[in-house]
Structure 1
Amino acid sequence: MPYLLLTLSAFIWSGNFVLSRAMNATIPPAGFVFWRWLVAICVLCPIVIPRLRKEWPLVRANLKLVCVCGFFGVTLFNFLIYTAMHSTTAINAALVNSAIPVFILMFARLIFGQTVSLRQHAGIALSLAGVATIILQGDLGRIRTLSFNRGDLLVLLAAVAWALYSVALRRYPQGLNPFVFLFSISLSGLLFLVPFYAFEIHSGAVMNANTPTLLSIAYVGILASVVAFTTWNIGLRRVGAHVGGQFIHLMPAFSTMLAVAFLGEQLHLFHIVGIALILTGIVCATFRIAKTA
């Protein structure tokens, strides 16, 4: 079940990446993040408010964790990604974003002393090979044509932020309702975002309210925020960040399928090979955990 939840998160977030690239000229990055999480908070309110009084002592006791997760997972990661989409290509963004599982393993080892088995290392390598196959379109010669710019650096910083968020979830307090936790980090993240959004508005960058922008905000606010974050948090708590993080590698595969389905792009052999390698790597990295659970 946790692997299904992590897969669902990766699928929804793949749609978020495609959508953010499509809307980068229409919705400013800080505004995109602000309205996304404001919608999420509004959706969560009817679920959370009846529970908040009872669980507030637990939230208050873990305010440091709430602020860390809110800053890295809600504010910084999303703001950097949406900003990066103004100055980088989809290929480069997918390549750099695939470093997230590596950062998760690194921080899990440095902060918590998490050990990683040889089987899991092999699974990571297979998944990375699958990602590279899709990005390079099965042609190693394409490496020579890749160039990196400011946007790529922002995606790399976003990957670091998401890895820190994922590893921090290891401190998730027992007994805290997942919706209450998500509501708390969403509110925290919005507070951290206020200076960025105020500066953006002051600079004249505003969002035009029309049907495409409203539908985009609804998607990222409900699905990419409430649904995907909840399933990711639950899945990661059950299998650990070092294992669950490998499911990020599904995103290039899902992005490819979405492009084929909705943008009319063609499916090639390198897509099939890459997706197969990613799935094999994930099975390899998670098999031991599933076997001993």
Structure 2
Amino acid sequence: MAQRPGQGAVGLAWAGLLLACLCWAGNALVARAFHDAIPPFALAFWRWSLALVILLPFVARPLWQHRAELRRAGWRLLLVAALGISTYSVLLYFAARTTVAINLTLLNTCLPLATFIGAGLLLNEWPSRRAWLGMAVAILGLLVLIGQGSLASLASLSFNPGDLLMLLAVLDWALYTLLQRRWSSYFHGIPPLAFLGMLVLVGVPLLLPFYLLEQAGGAHFDPNLSNLAAIGYTGVFASLIAYLLWNQGIAVLGVAKATLTNYLMPVFTALLGYFILGEALQAYHWVGGAMIFAGLLLGTRQRAK
């Protein structure tokens, strides 16, 4: 029987997931702010190329030591890298060209529902009734945020092509998360940093031909300080730090619990907008955020024996 993680490991996993969601909320703001300045394939390619350059000195030796396990993972590793490294980033950055940052994070909250159902079908890990109830409370809080506390605003909500692309990105990420969990026996024994390094090492070459085609079509960007800073943020915080914490959270807590933290991304986006962009926090932000936190606590709290 597998040994259950200790309370310390569980607490660190939750903290890591919250930090990962905060990093990705910032990524949505960056994607929207620079959608005219940096083409989508260019941002995805240079983001992960930077991450690879930082990772390689630390993972080259572990990758060589675990080459037998990596060979055994084979096409599974290729598929997971394509979903999590290449496809998701590109879909997100194309979506950011036609929809606003808050929509990117709001639509990302469809992930728990997708993974709840997928975990049951692919992993036979159906969430408990408490988890479903927590998700329902979090969804109500999300609706308060989306409708800005008004039923009329909620009823008049409209979507655009960027929103559809973001929904595809959410399904892509759900599959990445589920397959990583389903095939965990193939990745067992590979250190988390080395595993991420291998994903990036596979994912960057997959992006290269599309980046070159984008360049050939005349889509270039000016390597000025602000553009390089945007690539730096996405390469370090939204890639290295967030992915490491997310992968660890899945390993410790399981898919269903880990993905519930995605409900906090709109809250983090609103807070970042307040601190960075000076956008006011309204009453509905506090009410919706409190309901999302309550749903998260309800859905993840262990029942006393």
Could you say whether these structures have the same fold, taking a TM-score greater than 0.5 normalized by the shorter chain as the test?
yes
Q: For 2:191 and 2:296, how far apart are their aligned partners in 1?
A: 28
Aligned to 2:172: 161
The alignment status of 1:181 with 2:195, answered yes or no, reads yes
Q: TM-score, normalised by structure 1?
A: 0.96
Alpha-carbon distance in structure 1 between the residues aligned to 2:71 and 2:16: 28
Q: Does 2:100 align with 1:100?
A: no
Alignment of structure 1 residues 35-184 onto 2, 5 Å: 35-170=46-181, 171-172=183-184, 173-184=187-198
Match for 2:271 among 254, 257, 266? 257
For 2:172, the aligned partner's letter is A
Seq. identity, % = 34
Q: Is the counterpart of residue 19 in structure 1 residue 33 in structure 2?
A: no
The structural deviation recorded for 1:185 is 0.9
State the alpha-carbon separation in 2 of the partners of residues 133 and 67 from structure 1: 40
What is the root-mean-square deviation of aligned Cα atoms in Å?
1.4
Q: CA deviation at 1:65?
A: 2.6
In structure 1, give the amino acid aligned to 2:162.
G
SS at match of 2:207: helix
CA distance in 2, matches of 1:210, 1:122: 48
Alignment of 1:161-240 (within 5 A): 161-170=172-181, 171-172=183-184, 173-240=187-254
Gaps of 5+ in 2: 1-11
Give the letter for the 1:138 counterpart: G
* CA-CA distance at 1:64 after TM superposition: 2.4
- Describe the superposition over 1:75-130 as per-residue Cα deviations: whole angstroms up to 9, x where unpaired: 11110010011112334333322111111112111111211111000111111222
Count of aligned pairs: 291
Unaligned runs of 5+ in 1: none
Equivalence for 1:242? 256
Deviations 1:131-181 (A, max 9, x none): 221121111211233222211110010000000011112123221111111
Q: CA 1:54 to 1:34, structure 2 compared with 1: closer, same or farther past 3 Å?
A: same
* Cα distance in structure 1, aligned partners of 2:179 and 2:154: 34
The amino acid that maps onto 2:124 is: G
